Structure 1
Amino acid sequence: MTLMPLSDRHLREWLWFVVALGAVLRVQGLGWDHGLILNPDERNIITAAARLSYPDHLVSDFSAYNGLALYLPRFFAALISPFIGTQGSDPAAIQFAGRVLSALWSSLTLVILARTAQRSFSPRVALFVAACAGASPGLIQSAHFLTTEAGLILCLCVMIQLCQFYNRGEIPLLRFALLSGAVVGLGFGLKTTALVFALCPLTAVACSIRARNQVVEVIKAGGAATVVVLVLALVTTPQLWATPDAYFATMRFEGGVVRGTTDVFWTYQFVGTVGGLFELSQLPWLLGPIVPALGLAGMVALVLDLRRGNRMALEYVPALALAIVYGAIVCSWHAKFVRYLAPLLPLLILFSGYFISQLRVGRIRAGAMLATGVVTGLAGLMQATIYQKPDPRIAAWDWMVPRLAAGDGVVVEPADVGPPYWIPSATPLTTKMLPLLDVSSPDKIARMADVLAGSRWLIVASRRHYSVLPRLLGRFPEMCPYYAALWSGRLGYQLVATFRRRPVLPPLLDPTGQAEETFTVFDSPQVFIFEKTVPLPAPALVSAISDSASCAPKH
């Protein structure tokens, strides 16, 4: 008995089933940290949004994100507050509302990508694109955070589809310009990065000009689009005109962080990385191991097809131009957070579909789609399931509470979102912070020794310090021997418990050791708990921390 090939109608049904399944992966597990706001980016947005009030405080004093990034979750929290039993100004309510919005934006992105692919490719290739997008670990992750990435990706995908409509003559120039201006303006309301999306309609229009008399029409349409962008920018981000000094001071600070001219601890992880190569190494964690290679191959195939005059290739010139320009910009930055790569993810997925569509041998094309779909699906499912498991930081604290004794000292690391040791406990505790980020000096080592000597427990809540500071020997020469002594037990502390929620994988497949820390520290860190088993005096601890000859850090 032979199986009948799937008809186009059946393939379309499977396409929307895959889109629905991708939406399910995005909306499940949104309360994964039980409202404790363990993500610092979320905490910044939530803190600013919670301070907004009518009518006395409508303009935020926080400008790292633009107005819509604050107003939307704050308004939606107030809208759903009767159903969740908390006030709209409650931080936990704002967090939940913002995550619901992110999941919604990400789900709508799947619909737009599916429609775009459906119009360009065969039903099988469109199904392939939808499956890769639905299971993309990076897109699933962004749907579980109250940040701007999911909204920005949606704006970009809408822009790509508008360019597709315009390229096919389905919408006139002026309407295309006004709609594009609206998308850029609303995207700017989330984050300034959206301004670069204007490159897409500019490229689409430039490719469509056939006669000199069209130039005047293009200039008029461009002027109209610019007005729309400016109006929406001023409306959605009132900080621009209400508190311009504070707004642009924040932009200068953020620019310094991106360029590496502003010294902040959260970019230490990028010291010594190579622009371009580092970003390429992160794409498999965001898209699965095969899609990035197919996407890059698709870009090359697109360029070759443009030289041959392929009509379908022309539809994706705006996406290609944005991918090249934005990719070059991001790769030139010192700060290389994977969230900066977010706009490239849907583009690479579409380009992977383009490459697959160019394969002429049916068996090769089917095999490539099947292998990529299975591997990407497993990667996405692995990412989605972590939000159903206990957060390692919460699990670590729950484990510690019954073991704590009155007066215990608990050592934590700075600038880390550690276990929720701020949760009230019946046991009085003393929390002490190691000065790991202080300027290197004998006094710093002495203070570290005093903290360790006077405590019983030590919590390493993520890899944020131990995977970065030991590499910065010129700036933190004591950190490599400190961690070497800690892991080996020479500080008198023994590792008694480890908590993680990602499955144990071979090192090559485990993002907790290789992916940029945004991808692991904020939603699935590996937490280590140490307990003092051999009390050592401060001088002995100073000697151990200063022993650079024994520096051989683990992990």
Structure 2
Amino acid sequence: MVLTIMADNTDYKMHICLLIILVAAAYLRFTGLDWGTDHATGAFHPFHPDETTIIDNSRWVDTDLKKIVAPYGKAPMYILWSVARIAGGLLGIDPFDLSDNTIARSTYRLARTITAMLGLLTVWVVYLIGNRLGDKWVGLLAALFLAFSAGHIQQSHYYTVDVPFAFWLTLSLYLILRMPGAGRAIYIACGVASGLAAGTRLAGVWLGVPFIITHLMEGKGIGQRFKKLLTPEVGCYLLAAFLVTSICEPYLLLDPTHFFAATDVLQMMGSIKVVTGESVYIWTLSDFATTKYLFHITNLLPLSFGTVLTIVSILGAVLFLIKRPGTGIVILSWLLIYFLFIGRLHSKPFRYMIPLLPVLVVMGAWALGYFSDILRKREVPNWIVFIPWVLVALPTVAYGLAFSRIYHLEDSRFAAMKWIQNNIGEGTHVLAERGGYPTSWMVPDDKYNRRLDDATFFITADGGLPYYSQIEFLKGRLEDIEWIVLIRENRMRQFEAVPDIFPIAHQFYKRLGDGSLGFDAVAEFKVAPGLAGLTWDETEVEPTFSAFDHPQVVIYKLREEHDLPATLSHWSYATGQDPALPDLYLDRGLDAYLEKNWEDAYNQFDRALQIKPGLVLGNVLRRAACLKLGRLDEAHAQWKVSSTFPTNKLIQSVSSLYRMGLDTEGGEYVTYTSTQDQQSGHLSRFTATYANIGNRLVNEKRWAAAVNALSQAVSFGDAPADTWFLLAKSQEQIGELGKAWYAIDQAMQLNPEDEAYHVLLMNLGTKLYRQGALVEASAVYLKALQLNPDLVEAALNLGVLELESGRLGEAEKWLRHASEITPKDPQVHLYLGVAYLKSGKQDNAVSAFRRVLELDPDNQQARSALQSLTP
């Protein structure tokens, strides 16, 4: 495509235009890189958790790569480590000593500078691609669009993977467009760039598709086309891409088990479970209210560069598919593959769009050039030809400038913190948030009676606790609270999106927001994009777009004289009576169950499950009713359904059985699942469940039920010391002293230093002694002295026990040992005197009794014994 109306422009003017665009792009990306710094105090806050993950893990590059725990490739960490070490060496500092505020601020700024530079280079590469697929004006227009893309500007202020990934893949696409006729150096450079893309995000391996397509586009027959993939140049590309990817992801081949581990949310498979929705976290709740593929087009793309350019870029993609300009199908293939992948994910953070932007702006610019050519061929005035360009460029540039405003104003969090300091008195009870975008740091616990939220409770409790129990939990969190400080994107926006999945949490934030809970919003702080007095409304934008660098902080105050406990109690009662919720039918079923009306109980529990199919507690209760009705096959089927639920929900549901007073059913369920697991070979499937249930029951002092659960927990082997200890404690309380002695012995083998274990051991020895179990008591005291030879109580009790058993030599040994530990204890010397006396050692006995009287002149037992020995 050549716009002849521009034919008289020289390359010089083109270069000037490109330079101006690049300068503007640089200004928009390099300005405000120290965001997160409170300029009033100089304190730096790393507000972006993904950024922190990469920067923190970069320290391990030269020590142990297995210490790196991140779902991303290591290329960004290698780059930062190299640059930071050079800078640190010149300045004489450790750039990864992030505990030092000044160093942390400098390291983060340095890291963000790298991102900003790669973002700027992406603008330049986009120009090259546009120039190749269209002409220089298409290239300039594409560069302009990306330069002022609000999304690209924002992400260029973070040291996260998305802008670097976008740069490496855009560079790879440009180099692929020069194939297959390019020289070997181009192939090697493309292989390196593709390897760095894959080493940043594994999605970079999909660059192989456009690479293959570009080599199959030329040639007469299919055989001749495939021959183009069997050249030394292609081999150079593949080798370079493989080597670089392997260096950036060494454990992909060397230790696949480590690479694909899922034990942490920051590991590869752990993060995949999150983005696919298999694992539910608070920060993914808003995604339940989105539509796959459509949300990216209607919400995320307009956030990236405005509505107008969104429409034009999509139109350009359609035209690319129809017209296929030159080798444009190459970049179109990347667009389709990447979009088809991210569009189907449950998680839809804004940053996933960044790799699409360079391709989309090229397609949008090409489409504008295409329509301008149509207008030119119709011989319209030249100024009309420019209208499509202006109509798209002006709002795009305006939006980019408006967004950059957030880096020139005070951060909303710092403004909120100052307001808190000036308006909330010391010692006041304040509820603050933890999470990805916390407010806890705004409310220091050395100045306020701060309590932290525990919003994850609603996720772990879902399905395992009745809804009114969740409100009771809220009562505890809100007790005495006068103020609430939150960031809307952190918890409120997330739970507002899931009224049917987490109704109590949803209602809590809804009632908090509308004032019906008794709190009023007394202060709000928000920095919004703005230009020429106009501001962009971000009320409903995707949360991660605003949460990191310009969130909305809201401060609520409890109204004077408002009875918050009464409000919560009324809400709890209404929840229990709501026919649209399962609680009403759970309670009815429980009443019927306790009255031994098994059929009615079954029907009520079944009704609860119809309302909420994922109600684990309802499933467990219905199984109990099945057992009472003799429906054993159905009961077994119910257990199979229950065993598929997450462990934390099983913990909650079985604990609910105990809370309802169904100790027998709770214990039976624990035992049954244990038996089934042993038959299926999953010996540790419920170990954590049993241990946690036992811990809850110990806290409630329900010792017999605790013994049941904890016995199952240790039955699989490899139980931790604390589980054995709790089992011993529970067995001691119900009088199973012999079993308790075995359990505490197991605990001390695993952790011999814990003083609580020693105390329980001594208690066991005393109870065994009182019951006449002298052999067992003696073994307990010997074990205690092996662990701590200076335990005077054990030495004394063992000496007395041996004395009463007639083993006088052993009695003297341990009583002398006790006297050496505590020479001023008259009781020890008294028993020692008795031992001497029974052994016929009268002189030693006299000395011992005299020592007793020196320490305790009123001791009549020693005085009487001494008088009988010295008349």
TM-score (norm. length: structure 1) = 0.88
Task: Measure the CA separation in 2 of the matches of 1:63 and 1:422.
Answer: 28
Does 1:325 pair with 2:349?
Answer: no
Q: 1:285 aligns with which of 295, 298, 303?
A: 303
| Greater percentage in helix | 2
Question: Hey, what's the Cα distance between the residues in 1 that align with 2:75 and 2:130?
Answer: 29
Rounded Cα–Cα distance in structure 1 between residues aligned with 2:295 and 2:344: 11
Q: Return the offset for 1:83.
A: 7.3
Residues of 1 paired with 2:230 and 2:268: CA distance? 30
* 461, 473, 476: which one aligns with 2:499: 473
Structure 1 position 216, deviation (Å): 3.7
SS for the counterpart of 1:512 is coil
In the alignment, which of 276, 282, 286 is matched to residue 269 of structure 1? 286
Q: SS at the partner of 2:492? A: coil
Between 132-141 and 397-406, the greater mean CA deviation after superposition: 397-406
For each residue in 1:179-218, what CA deviation from the matched residue of structure 2 results, as whole angstroms up to 9, or x when unmatched? Answer: 3221111112211121112222211111134453563451
CA distance in 2: counterparts of 1:293 and 1:209, whole angstroms: 36
Aligned to 2:96: 89
Which aligned pairs between 1:372-383 and structure 2 lie closer than 5 A? 372-383=392-403
Change in 2 beyond 3 A, CA 1:6/1:405: farther
Counterparts in 2 of 1:497 and 1:373: CA distance versus 1, 3 Å: same
Give the corresponding residue for 1:7: 9
Residues matched between the structures, number: 534
SS of the residue 1:166 aligns to: coil
The equivalent residue for 2:312 is 294
Match of 1:310 in 2: none
SS of 2:307's equivalent in the other structure is: coil
Output the amino acid matched with 1:361. L
Correspondence for 1:255: 272
Aligned to 2:163: 150
1:416 and 1:462 in contact (8 A); partners too: no
Q: Which amino acid aligns with 2:355?
A: P
Tell me the equivalent position of 1:184.
194
Distance, in Å, in 2 between the alignment partners of 1:127 and 1:504 is 26
Alignment check: 8 A CA contact 1:109 1:154 kept: yes
Alpha-carbon distance between aligned partners in 2 of 1:77 and 1:491, rounded to the nearest angstrom: 50
Q: CA deviation at 1:504?
A: 7.2
Q: Which amino acid aligns with 2:96?
A: S
Call closer, same or farther: CA 1:436–1:63 in 2, change over 3 Å.
closer
Contact 2:430 2:450 in 1 (8 A): yes
Among 201, 215, 239, which residue is 1:227 paired with?
Answer: 239
- CA contact under 8 A between 2:417 and 2:442: conserved in structure 1? no
Amino acid at match of 1:151: P
Structure 1 letter corresponding to 2:294: L
Shift of 1:136: 0.5
- Give the whole-Å Cα distance in 2 for the aligned partners of 1:331 and 1:190: 20
Q: Verify: 1:215 aligned to 2:226, yes or no.
A: yes
What is the alpha-carbon distance in structure 2 between the residues aligned to residue 488 and residue 216 of structure 1? Answer: 68
Q: Deviation of residue 130 (structure 1)?
A: 1.8
Equivalent pairs: percent with the same residue?
22
Structure 2: give runs of 5+ residues left out of the alignment.
1-5, 38-43, 99-103, 262-266, 377-382, 579-871
**1:393 — aligned with what?**
413
For the 8 Å contact 1:416–1:461, the answer to whether it is kept is no
| 1:427-466 mapped onto 2 (5 Å cutoff) | 427-435=447-455, 437-438=457-458, 439-440=461-462, 441-466=467-492
**Hey, what's the Cα distance between the residues in 1 that align with 2:562 and 2:456?**
20
2:215 is aligned to 205
Q: Verify the 8 A CA contact 2:175 2:186 in the aligned structure 1.
A: yes
- Considering only CA atoms, is the larger Rg found in Structure 1 or Structure 2? 2
Q: CA deviation at 1:330?
A: 1.6
Deviation of 1:114 (Å):
1.7
Q: Distance in 2 between matches of 1:451 and 1:192?
A: 42
Deviation at 1:284, TM superposition (A): 0.9
Q: Residues 409 and 456 of structure 1 are in contact (CA less than 8 Å); yes or no, is this contact kept in structure 2?
A: yes
The aligned counterpart of 2:31 is 28
Kept after mapping to 2: 8 A contact 1:133/1:346: yes
TM value normalised by structure 2: 0.57
CA distance in 2, matches of 1:426, 1:84: 36
1:342 and 2:354 are equivalent in the alignment = yes
Amino acid at match of 1:502: A
User: Aligned runs of 1:349-360 on 2, under 5 Å?
Assistant: 349-359=361-371, 360=374
Measured after TM superposition, the shift of residue 246 of structure 1 is 2.6
CA drift at 1:445: 1.4
- Structure 1 residue 465 displacement after superposition: 2.5
437-446 or 295-304, which deviates more: 437-446
Is the CA contact (8 Å cut-off) linking 1:481 and 1:544 kept in structure 2?
no
Structure-2 separation of matches of 1:428 and 1:260: 38
- Which sections of structure 1, spanning at least 5 residues, go unmatched? 307-312, 550-555
Higher normalized contact order (CA 8 Å, seq sep 6+, divided by chain length): 1
- Check 1:87–1:517 CA distance in 2 against 1; reply closer, same or farther (3 A cut): same
Q: Structure 1's 456 and 538: CA in aligned 2 closer, same or farther, altered over 3 A?
A: closer
CA distance in 2 between counterparts of 1:219 and 1:258 reads 38
Task: Provide the residue aligned with 2:77 in structure 1.
Answer: 70
